[in-house]
Amino acid sequence: MKKYRTLLFDVDDTLLDFTAAEKEALRMLFEEKGMPLTTEMESHYKKINHGLWKSFEEGKIDRDEVINTRFSLLFKEYGQVVDGALLEKSYRSYLENGHQLVNGAFELINDLQNQYDLYIVTNGVSKTQDKRLRASGLHPIFKGIFVSEDTGYQKPMKEYFDYVFARIPNFSAEQTLIIGDSLSSDIKGGHQAGLDTCWFNPDKKTNDMEIIPTYQIHKLNELYRIIENPREQGFLTNNQGIFN
């Protein structure tokens, strides 16, 4: 008998290539402002954006503060006073068109849909995530899609996971696995909610956090071996987060 019945998937940089979508949306936004996007500008944006989303994950600020101030903070560094909310609207329209799939994502989800209950668990803006998932072809495959904006909470908050669990029929934490690329939201949140966790780490980053996933994979198709054999030694992590 298989251990897992329910699989919870993150979206950005797990199923959809958010990095590529973000880069193109930024390029078009800067082009709109008459400025070519440089590597330095992109790096600066990511630093500001990461800091704001981290504060959001920690419950220190709300989503509106993240999305309505990141561009005003960014352009301020280049001597421009802009309407952050207005630029956010433009950026969002460009980002919604970014639905490039992570390698192997569609094949994996399509294969698993008749064997497992599949759900999306993602932080972000509902309209954006909905449009990207529909354009990718993934949307109709999932039994439910839970976006932080709709729930009123965000990963890794316990309240977010409580909201999700309450809306999954016959939910069992012991039979559920969460898969995502973020240690601080997917893996930490899943662990705190009592779930087994699978860290999707395609870039083979070093885990320098005190968050240990149950499993670690570098390619999405490696998930097959885990769900077919949960004691698969090649993907189990020990208490240092290193492969056994």
Q: Which of 155, 149, 153 is nearest to 185 (CA)?
A: 155
Tokens of 75: 């352009």
Cα within 13 Å of Cα(221), Cβ side: 3
CA 6 to chain centre: 18
Burial bucket for residue 70 (CB in 10 Å: 0-12, 13-18, 19+): buried
Is the Cα torsion angle 129, 134, 138, 140 positive or negative in sign?
A: positive
Separation CA 129–CA 107 (nearest Å) = 20
Maximum CA pair distance of the chain? Answer: 62
Tokens of 77: 């560094």
Helical (H) or strand (E) element with 6:
strand 6-9
Question: Please, what is the Cα angle at 139 between 150 and 141, to 5 degrees?
Answer: 120
Supply the residues annotated as catalytic.
10
Q: Which amino acid type is present at position 192?
A: Q
CB 151 within 8 A of CB 189: no
